[in-house]
Structure 1
Amino acid sequence: MSAVFSPPPSFSIQTERLHISYFEPGNPDHTAFALHLWSFDEITKYIGKRGIVSLERADEFIRTSVQADYNRTGYGRFLVSLKPHPQASLAESKLIGVVSLILREPPLGYPCPDIGYAFIPDEWGKGYATEAAIALIDYALREFNVKGVFGFCNPDNKRSRRVLEKIGLEFRGEKILRFFDDGTPSAIYALPGMDSDLSVYGMED
């Protein structure tokens, strides 16, 4: 049985405007926010509904899928909270989104994690996804022994592609990824310095 990863509740990665923190299984505020975030069609059209259709299912998702990533790697999906002022504590800040860095398990996954983000639509266009993703990647390179980061998105998702470019990832073409079962190609981005031959990472043509 794997150990349960349990970070201190006060942990956060801070930026000028944001706190980036772990989900807490059983925290009613986190459960309610997950249900709220996954209720927007603008979000689920790209990241999927994931069965989050009730508070019970949101709680189950955090306790199982989210916690499983924490137990396996120490990272995964993180909450993003907006500070009301630059010195604000995590408790004072407002939940506005999720930023993720997920290392998918073999045989469907790849050897480097991929960055993702989802924010409530009222907060779009303010640079929060870019700010949160940069901070999480920087922290992961220092603290989680991450050697490379991918970004995957629907080729038609222009908003997501702009974020991936703003955080410094480079476009590496389009490929069908084995962990998506719809057979449609994804736009592939990677950190500078990663091998240009994606077959090195198990991505075949």
Structure 2
Amino acid sequence: MKIFAETDRLILRELLPADAAGMFELDSDPEVHRYLGGNPVTSIAQSLSDIAFIRDQYQTNGIGRWAVVQKSTNEFMGWGGLKLITQPVNNHLNYYDVGYRFIKRFWGKGYASETAKASIDYGFNQLNQTFLYAMADAENQTSIHVLEKSGFKRSGTFDYKGVQSYWFEIEREPGR
């Protein structure tokens, strides 16, 4: 099992088939999917398929979202990290997107910001990127706050699959 990053409270590691129950808890919750198209999963088989898809990204792109695990309990909390986007989004192509998604009982405790910051560090220091990007539904004030707290700047709005969304960018600081 590969660990990509650690923080004081979290381990960010590769997603494993053993994470299926946690992924199902995460993605079967309609509240978690409120700003994601409102299409939660309905079976553990879908969660296993999602994990297989992400694991394929590790092989194909060298990167994919990571499991976020609480250090003190080894409990699966959700996922976060970087994804190489290979289809055009907001006139961008082949860029690294920072994202995160947490089981509801872990909301409001700073884990998303902690994950986003670790992801940014990985993108700049391990992948040697100059820019990283993110996006959020314009109605999702919590995610917007997390991204801005993590250092992202809003650089515009765009339509993403019929949803008004904000585009975020962060540039590597000289010497970072």
Name the TM-score class by shorter chain. Answer: 0.7 to 0.9
1:79 aligns with 2:90: no
TM-score by length of 2: 0.87
Match of 1:103 in 2: 84
Taking the aligned partners of 2:124 and 2:71, their CA distance within structure 1 comes to 24
Give the % identical residues.
28
Structure 2 counterpart SS, 1:164:
helix
1:130-177 Cα distance to aligned partner (Å, 9 max, x none): 01110121012221233311110111110000000010001112112x
Taking the aligned partners of 2:40 and 2:136, their CA distance within structure 1 comes to 20
TM-score by length of 1: 0.75
How do 1:183-198 and structure 2 match up within 5 A? Answer: 184-192=163-171
1:117 aligns with 2:100: yes
Q: Which runs of 5+ in 2 are unaligned?
A: none
Taking the aligned partners of 2:13 and 2:80, their CA distance within structure 1 comes to 10
Larger radius of gyration: 1
Deviation at 1:192, TM superposition (A): 3.4
Contact 2:124 2:130 in 1 (8 A): yes
Q: Residues 83 and 191 (structure 1 numbering): CA distance in 2 closer, same or farther, change over 3 Å?
A: same
Q: 2:10 aligns with which of 18, 23, 28?
A: 18
Taking the aligned partners of 1:74 and 1:51, their CA distance within structure 2 comes to 27
Q: 2:58 aligns with which of 70, 81, 86?
A: 70
How many positions carry a matched residue from both structures?
A: 171
Q: Residues 41 and 78 (structure 1 numbering): CA distance in 2 closer, same or farther, change over 3 Å?
A: same
Contact 2:129 2:172 in 1 (8 A): no
Taking the aligned partners of 1:192 and 1:93, their CA distance within structure 2 comes to 33
Contact 1:80 1:98 in 2 (8 A): yes
Taking the aligned partners of 2:75 and 2:141, their CA distance within structure 1 comes to 27
Q: Residues 144 and 36 (structure 1 numbering): CA distance in 2 closer, same or farther, change over 3 Å?
A: same
How do 1:128-143 and structure 2 match up within 5 A? Answer: 128-143=111-126
